[in-house]
Amino acid sequence: MLIALVVLLVLSGFFSIAETSMMALNRYRLRHLAKEGSKAARLTTQLLNNTDKLLGVILLGNSLLNAALATLSAVLTVRLLGDSQWALSIATLGITFLILVFSEITPKVVGASYPEVIALASSFVLAPLLKLAYPVVWFVNLFVKALLWMLRLKPAQGANTNLTMEELRTLVMEGGHYIPAKHRHILSNLFELEDITVDDVMTPRAQIESIDLNAPIEEIRESLATTNHTRLPVCAGSLDNTVGILHVRQVLHQTRSGELSREMLREILRRPYFTPEGTPLFTQLQNFQENQRRMGLVVDEYGEIQGLLTLEDILEEIVGEFTSQSPSRGGLTIDRSDGSILVEGRTPLRILNRKFGLEFPLDGPKTINGLILERLEDIPEPGTSLKISGCPVEIVQTQDRMVRMVRIFHGHRPQS
């Protein structure tokens, strides 16, 4: 009878460890193993697709074994110690302790620690048991369903393993050593593409380099010879009157030979591509792909050009900045003596937040210059200091009604 008691404890522990491991199993890892051809993974998937029946057979076996343990312990107590009240009380406490330690807590801790190994192995035992005990499980589930109906509860069919965008973002960021840091950074940036609009990354209108067809031909030739860009907007008088996009490579020979003319430029121009302000970056990336474009002019509701966006601008939001520095990104220098940051006023707030872990608000102005002007409501004098989001900021230089250089007193180094 003592041997039977030990066997019952072990069997009860098996059902406990199987239940915990099955419920703690990573469903995505299980699907991956099943696709690779693992028989145990496919069997486990079938069991988890019928959670009510799986839990039914596990709890049925566990309950029967625990009841048998209680009965057997009572019989042993009567034979060894008699049927006195104190003897039965000791037996109750003793069997409760044994069940908790050897059949409940220990197996469940082990099952939660190694769910994959245990769940896959347990499936070869649970699947046949489910077939054998199916009539009993079906009969018990009739009462369960009736009780749920009385409580107006309707359990979901199958486990809902769909992840929300925020859950997927958390999963990626907590991927640990499974995902390299650079890959996690890129994936995190991909999640943000729907929250970032073209307004956040475009080159502002004042910084757009363009070719004016009404300008003298020598000036046009000089602009083409000295530009750092491969594509330039071409306008007639005003940027709002943009007539096309010029691929500089197509006119390099004419620029050097002196054969350049306005008529020739007009013939090789490509029709300009416009995109409305407020367009999410992910949507704009798709638009670039569908229209086979690499550059777009951002316009407001009145059709006036507000900025210029390139495919490179979007790619830099995903993989980080390239070796070439975009004019709209501004520049920054770190003073290693006090840890302060010297930045240009046109530097986007998003870049500062990302590189230095700052918390400048992003729901208003896009640059540090715009944020300072909004807070002060005036053109500040050099040497003026203020605190924004808990970060001290000093105006170093102003020019042409805007803040040119700013010193931010923050000791963090740029993040990779």
**Contact of 90 with 101, CB cutoff 8 Å:** no
User: How open is the CA angle 246-248-250, to the nearest 5 degrees?
Assistant: 90
Residue 308, pLDDT score: 93
pTM of the predicted protein model: 0.60
**12 class by beta-carbon count within 10 Å (0-12 exposed, 13-18 middle, 19+ buried):** buried
Interacting residues of 336 by C-beta distance below 8 A, sequence separation 6+: none
Check: CB of residue 390 under 8 Å from CB of residue 334.
Answer: no
Q: What is the pLDDT of residue 288?
A: 93
Distance, in Å, from the CA atom of 308 to the CA atom of 299, rounded to the nearest integer, reads 9
Please, which residues bridge with residue 407 across strands?
342, 394
Which of 254, 258, 283 has its CA nearest to residue 195? 283
Q: What angle do CA 306, 193, 304 make, to 5 degrees?
A: 10
37 and 128 Cβ atoms separated by less than 8 Å: no
The pLDDT score that the predictor gives to residue 412 is 46
The separation between CA 188 and the C-alpha centre of its own chain, rounded to angstroms, equals 5
Scanning 193-234, the segments in alpha helix (DSSP H) are 198-201, 217-226
- How far does CA 300 lie from the centroid of its chain? 30
End-to-end Cα separation, the chain, in angstroms: 67
Residues 6+ apart with CB under 8 A from 170: none
Burial class (CB in 10 A: 0-12, 13-18, 19+), 178: exposed
CB distance 348 to 356 below 8 Å: no
Position 24: which residue type? A
CA distance 87 to 78: 8
For the chain, give percent helix, strand, coil, nearest 5. Answer: 55, 15, 30
Write down the pLDDT at residue 309.
Answer: 93
User: Cα Rg for the chain, rounded, in angstroms?
Assistant: 35
d(CA 77, CA 2): 11
- Give the domains, in start order, of the chain with CATH numbers: 2-150 (no CATH), 198-308 (3.10.580.10), 330-408 (3.30.465.10)
Task: Indicate the SS3 state at residue 404.
Answer: strand
Is residue 163 a contact partner of residue 330, using CB atoms and an 8 Å limit? no
Distance CA 57, CA 70 (A): 20
Q: What is the pLDDT of residue 275?
A: 93
- The pLDDT score that the predictor gives to residue 25 is 86
Beta bridge partners of 221: none
Tens-level pLDDT at each residue, the chain (416 residues): 888 888 988 998 898 999 999 988 888 788 888 888 889 889 988 888 888 788 888 888 888 888 898 888 888 888 887 778 888 888 888 888 888 898 889 999 998 999 889 999 998 988 898 888 888 888 887 888 888 888 887 766 555 556 677 777 777 777 656 677 777 778 877 877 878 889 888 888 888 899 999 888 888 888 888 888 889 999 998 898 999 999 988 887 777 766 788 888 888 899 999 999 989 998 999 999 999 999 999 999 888 999 999 998 888 888 876 655 555 555 666 665 667 888 888 888 888 887 788 888 888 888 888 899 988 888 888 888 998 888 899 999 888 888 888 998 875 444 44
* pLDDT of the residue at 322: 64
Per-residue model confidence (pLDDT) at position 313:
87
Cα angle for residues 224, 227, 231 (degrees, 5° grid) = 80
Enter the tokens of residue 67.
Answer: 């009841």
The per-residue pLDDT for 60 is 87
* Alpha carbon distance 344, 406 (integer Å): 6
* pLDDT of the residue at 218: 87
Q: Are strands 238-247 and 274-276 parallel, antiparallel or unpaired?
A: unpaired
The DSSP code for 197 is B
d(CA 393, CA 359): 13
Sheet holding 274-276, edge to edge: 203-204, 305-310, 295-299, 274-276
- Supply the pLDDT for residue 271: 92
